[in-house]
Amino acid sequence: MHPRTAPILGALMLLGSATAGAQPPFFSGQLDPQLSTPQPQAAYPGQPPGALPPQSTTQTPAPPPVERELDDSVFGGTLFQGHFAQESFRGFNPDYVVSVGDYIDLRLWGAVDMALRLEVDSQGNIFIPRVGPVRVANVRNAELDAVVERRIKRIYRENVGVYASLAAAEPVKVFVTGGVQAPGLYGAYAADSLLHFLDRAGGIDLDTGSFLDVRVLRSGRTAQRFNIYDFLVDGQLPLFQFRDGDTIIVGPRQETAEVGGMVYRPAQYEFEDSIALGRLLELAGVDPQATHVELARNASAAREVRYLTLADPATAALPVRGGDEVHVTADRETASIVAQVEGEIAGLSRYVLPYTSSLADLLVMLEPTTRSDLDGVQLFRRSLAERQKEVLEQMLQKLEQSVLSARSSTREEAQLRAQEAELVLRFVERARDIEPTGQLVLHSGYDPERIALEDRDRLLVPRLSQTVAVQGEVYFPSAFIHREGKGLEYYLQMAGGLSQNGSKDHVFIRRPNGVMIEARRGWLSAEEIRPGDEILVLPKVDAKTFQFSKDLVQILYQIALSAGVVLRI
C-alpha cells in the first residue's frame, strides 16, 4: 500500500536586489584582459602589480539546513523550510551603510593611475597613498563615491578621475537564540536578512517561539525589533544591516487562538494579551459566503460559546483571548435549489426550484422527446454518493485490518496468507479509486411527490434503448440487440459465456432506473430481460483460496450496486 501524504503547502522566497555604481567611461592605465582593471605599480610588498589584498575572512560553507516538519496548523509554520538559508545576499543596496571590515575598490585615472582595494580599518577609515585617511564608516553606499572624491580633490585638484565602490560585503557572525530550533553562532554577510539567520537556526520553534517578538541586540541594547506577521501579511520587513557579534533573540510565544471553518488560512494565530475578532478574521481571510462566527472561550472553568453575526459591527470589536476557538460558518435559510437535467430532453439543462420542491415538480417542467425513456429516469445525488463512498471505505478498512492481523499456525499457511494478503491489498487499493454514482433507485410505481429534491440533484432521462449490455466476468463483454423471447442464458452465450473467474451464483440484472435484481441461472424467464438492461457477472471468491471470502463478496456487491461496475480480484 502506498502511504497517504498530505500536501505541502508552497514556500515563501525572499528576493534581494543589488545596486552597483556605473563604471567610469575611461581608464588610462593598461587593462588586464581578464579582470578589466588598470594595472598600477605594486601597492603591496611581495605582491605583483595590481594585486588586491587577500581577504582574511572568508565565508565558510553553510551547514546543511536543520531538518524540520512542515506545520500548517500554526500561522507562518511553513515559512522556514531552508530556502532563506540557501540564499545569501552579498550585494549592496543604496542605503547600505559602510562598516568596519568592508572592502572598497578605488580607481584613479588621468594624472594619476591607481587601482586599489582598501579595507575599512577599526577607526572607520581607509588609507589612500599620498592622500591620507578618509573616513567612510557610517556613509551610505549611494554617497560613498562623492565622499571619497571630495577628499581626493583636496590633493589632486585637476585632471584626476575618481571612482569608489564597495567591493565585498562584510562577513559577520551573528548569535541566534531564544525560541528557535537550533540556537548557535551563524556566519553570513552584513546585508543578509533576518529571515536568513532565523532559517539557518532551524526557524522559529512553533511550540515555544514568538513570531511577534524578534529582537536584535547590539552591545547589550535593542537595535531593532521585528514582527514576522508584518512580512507574512503585508510583505513588510525592515532592512537591517547586521554587524559582527549581533544577537538575534526570538522571544517566548505569546497568547494564541485557533481559527477554522470558512476561512482561507485556518491556523493557530499569535497575539499579545488580546486581539479584536475583526483583526483576527482579517488575518485568517474570511470566505465571502460566511455569515456567522462561533466564539468559544475556554479560559474560565466553564466553557462559554457565543454565536455572532458577521454583519454586526459589534462583532468585529469583540476581544479574543488566549485559548479561544473561532469557527466561521455560513448559516442562512435556503430559498431555492438548482437541479440539473441531462439526457434525452429538448428543454433546459438546469432548473431553479423552491427549496420545498419534489421530483414531481421537476418532471412537470421537462420537455421530453419521442425518444425519451421516462420509465427509466435516473436520479443522482451528491450526498448519497458521499455516503456510499464512506460505506465502501469502512468496508475496505475492515478488510484491510483483517488481512494484516491474520495469524497462521504453520509456515506453509503463513506463506499462503502472505500471498493472499498481497492480492487482497492490491484489490483494496483499486477499490478505493471507485467513485459511487449516488443513484437514488426509483422503483416501478414510485410516487415522485414523496421524493424531495436536494440542491445539485442530477436527473438523467435515458434514450429509449434496444440493447442489452453484458459486462464483468465474461469472455466478450459487449452490448447486444434486444431480442424478444430471449433470456439470460442467451445473452451470456452471446458474450462468450462466463470466464473461468465468473460466478454463476453472482449474476445481476441492472434496470435503467437503477433497480438491481439478483439473477441465478435459469431463474429469470425470457420476458424479464428488457431493453436497456445491463447484466453484471461478478467474479468468484473461492473460500478455499481467500480466508476473507465473505468480506470480499460484500465489497463486490457494494461496488456493483453503488457504481455499476465489476471489479476483478
Q: Which secondary-structure segment (H or E) carries 110?
A: strand 103-110
Q: How far is CA 278 from CA 211, 285, 304, 314, in A?
A: 20, 10, 19, 9
**DSSP letter, residue 528:** G
DSSP string, 271-334: ESSEEEHHHHHHHH-B-TT--EEEEEE-SSSS-EEEEEETTSHHHHH-EEETT-EEEEE-----
Residue 552, pLDDT score: 80
- Torsion, Cα 421 427 430 434, to 10 degrees, reads -130
In whole angstroms, how far apart are CA 447 and each of 353, 360, 366, 385, 478?
19, 8, 17, 22, 34
Distance in angstroms (rounded) separating the CA atoms of residues 443 and 345? 22
Contact 260, 328 (CB under 8 A): yes
pLDDT number for residue 268 = 94
What is d(CA 318, CA 338) in angstroms, rounded to the nearest whole number? 37
Nearest to 148 by CA among 171, 172, 114: 114
Residue spans of alpha helices (H) in 78-205: 83-86, 141-153, 194-200
Label each residue of 471-509 as H, E or C. Answer: EECECCCEEEECCCCCCHHHHHHHCCCECCCEEEEEEEE
CA end-to-end span of the chain? 16
In whole angstroms, what is the distance from residue 210 CA to residue 178 CA? 9
- Identify residue 469 by its one-letter amino acid code: A
Query: Which residues are bridge partners to 336 per DSSP?
Result: 354
Rounded alpha-carbon distances, angstroms, from residue 267 to 76, 270, 296: 9, 10, 15
Q: What angle do CA 394, 398, 400 make, to 5 degrees?
A: 115
Query: How far out from the chain centre does Cα 561 lie?
Result: 35
State the cell numbers at 142. Answer: 549611494
390: cell is 464512506
Q: Which amino acid, residue 422?
A: E
In angstroms, how far is CA 78 from the centroid of its own chain?
A: 10
Q: How far apart (Å, rounded) are the C-alpha atoms in residues 466 and 276?
A: 68
Instruction: Tell me the domains of the chain and their CATH numbers.
Output: 7-54+92-168 (3.30.1950.10), 255-329 (3.10.560.10), 336-431 (no CATH), 465-560 (3.10.560.10)
Average confidence (pLDDT) per 10 residues, the chain, 569 residues: 37 34 34 35 38 40 44 82 74 72 84 86 89 88 86 85 78 92 90 89 93 93 93 86 90 94 93 94 92 88 89 93 93 85 90 93 92 90 93 90 79 79 87 91 88 93 92 94 90 92 87 82 65 90 71 84 81
Quickly list DSSP for 216-266: EEETTEEEEEE-HHHHHHH---------TT-EEEEEEP-EEEEEEESBSS-
CA torsion 376-377-380-381 (nearest 10°) is -130
Asked whether the beta carbons of 134 and 147 are under 8 A apart, the reply is: yes
For residues 533 and 527, the answer to whether their CB atoms sit within 8 Å is no
Q: What separation in angstroms does the CA of 261 have from each of 318, 408, 414? A: 19, 47, 48
Q: Which three cell numbers stand for residue 288?
A: 465571502
Helix, strand, or coil (residue 376):
helix
Burial class of residue 464 in the structure, from the number of CB atoms within 10 Å of its CB (0-12 exposed, 13-18 middle, 19+ buried): middle
